[in-house]
Chain A
């Protein structure tokens, strides 16, 4: 089955809320139904996207753009692949499934995320993993300001050392055995993360203002 593919016809001049386009929300919907879904301000899917493919459990955004917000919002399962950039709140309130973004992501990636996996091949904006409850976010590029702000649990995996605020604390460099399992799982995805091997990371814990059970792991070069 070919993945359900949303191809952006042209770059929008305004913010588009793509929160309705997750595998769990589209289950049982026909091609026709999907074209008529309202995104925001009377804008329908048909106005912005060409839609093809039938496998609603695997969604692809093609020609994706930084104005596409809330991709994977409250997502429960399945997978979303983003070919290009995406806007703010990628995977916000996510409850399961996988999002792979091959470009840049905006602010608040994984805000209040509870379960699941988000992998970003390029840069991410400010407040990545803000108020995160659990799950895993990987950012292969640079991180904006205040990563892990209000983070309660969960893992933020980075390849480059970020600028961290005062309530994220350094716990030293370690070989973490669970990363081997995580990296094996990454091998399934079309992402820069799928080639990771070394489990040696610098571990930062936080947000200490929220119990400090979350962690930011920075891969050792």
Chain B
């Protein structure tokens, strides 16, 4: 096994295992950024993991007024699901409950592809016959009369093949150290396009393994990385590790995720070993479940040379 260290922090010779997903991007605008965030936060709420939420979603980035179709400030949102059917269902539900309802919000396609899925195509029936459509430069929009004025929504947005489950683990000597490092990584990764980190604050503490002693559970706690079980199970942790946190990344392409992992890990390594971070590892299932493998050493290949 090759040993790799950056700034005194060990990078494990392992890989993150990721899956094929379907993704879409939606541009949410509003009268001001505050209300665009209210809408987008609601739409991407309860969307941490496909296991229980249907989709994994997050805010990709802020958009200035001259970047949006209607010339108002906004944010772009990415949503990922394991299949096209779930993605379409979740998008419609979230549009209806979170964007249609949010004062001044409007929604537009954030990505164009051969597969176009409903954005406002069904929401229009909320207009009860008073809805009108406009075809502008070949794109159809719906205008739905609502109490604050008119809700403007594009009929469809694009659906693309995407990848979910890119990840890395932060192994540190204390909870505070792990959290601080995770926050530092997220700050750097949030600046990148085409990726989201769907968990709370971008960070997840309950990494899972496949299967469980309970027959009905498909996944359960990743005991090999649980610091309080060090003496009990086949542990992955050395004596000095007291806390592990994970950052999960969904992205539009392999390169987007690889870049996000690199930027995140680099930001942590820049903190140095005095930050309390000892090792960076990654989560996988032995390589048999997911078709995409992000090898940590390969991501840093350029540095090794």
Contacts and interface: CB of A to CB of B under 8 A. Distances in A.
Contacts of B152: 177-178, 181
A213 to B, nearest CB: 6
Q: Which 10 A-B pairs have the closest CB atoms?
A: A177-B152, A180-B70, A185-B136, A185-B137, A178-B152, A181-B136, A180-B71, A178-B143, A177-B70, A178-B134
B29 to A, nearest CB: 9
Interface of B: 69-72, 106, 129-130, 132-137, 141, 143, 149-150, 152
Nearest to A176: B150
Contacts of B106: 177
Nearest to B29: A177
Contact of B149 (A134, A175, A184, A215): A175
Nearest to A155: B134
A55 to B, nearest CB: 19
Contacts of A155: 134
A184 B143 CA distance: 17
Contacts of A213: 129-130, 132
Nearest to A212: B130
Interface string A180-199: 11101100000000000000
A153 B134 contact: no
A191 B106 CA distance: 28
Given A153-B132, A213-B130, A213-B132, A177 B150 contact: yes
Name the prevailing secondary structure of the B interface residues: strand
B136 A182 contact: yes
Nearest to A135: B135
Contacts of B71: 180, 184
Interface of A: 115, 134, 136, 153, 155, 174-178, 180-182, 184-185, 213, 215
A19 to B, nearest CB: 23
B62 to A, nearest CB: 19
A178 B130 contact: no
B213 to A, nearest CB: 55
A212 to B, nearest CB: 9
Given A134-B133, A180-B71, A181-B69, 20 more contacts: A115-B135, A136-B134, A155-B134, A176-B149, A176-B150, A177-B72, A177-B149, A177-B150, A177-B152, A178-B150, A178-B152, A180-B70, A181-B134, A181-B136, A181-B152, A182-B134, A184-B69, A185-B136, A213-B129, A213-B132
22 contacts: A136-B134, A155-B134, A174-B150, A175-B149, A177-B152, A178-B134, A178-B136, A178-B150, A178-B152, A180-B70, A181-B69, A181-B70, A181-B136, A181-B141, A181-B152, A182-B134, A182-B136, A184-B69, A184-B71, A185-B136, A213-B129, A213-B130
Nearest to A136: B134
Contact of B141 (A115, A134, A178, A184): A178
B179 to A, nearest CB: 41
A6 to B, nearest CB: 26
Contacts of A136: 134
A155 to B, nearest CB: 7
A53 B86 CA distance: 52
B134 to A, nearest CB: 6
B257 to A, nearest CB: 33
B143 to A, nearest CB: 5
A174 B146 CA distance: 13
Contacts of B143: 176, 178
Given A136-B134, A153-B132, A180-B70, A174 B141 contact: no
A136 B137 CA distance: 12
A150 B121 CA distance: 27
Contacts of B72: 177, 180
A80 to B, nearest CB: 17
Contacts of A175: 149
A79 B72 CA distance: 30
B68 to A, nearest CB: 10
B8 to A, nearest CB: 53
Contacts of A174: 149-150
B114 to A, nearest CB: 21
A178 B155 CA distance: 13
A176 B72 CA distance: 13
A177 B141 CA distance: 11
A180 B132 CA distance: 16
Contacts of B70: 177, 180-181
Nearest to B151: A177
A16 B98 CA distance: 55
Contacts of B133: 134
B120 to A, nearest CB: 12
B42 to A, nearest CB: 19
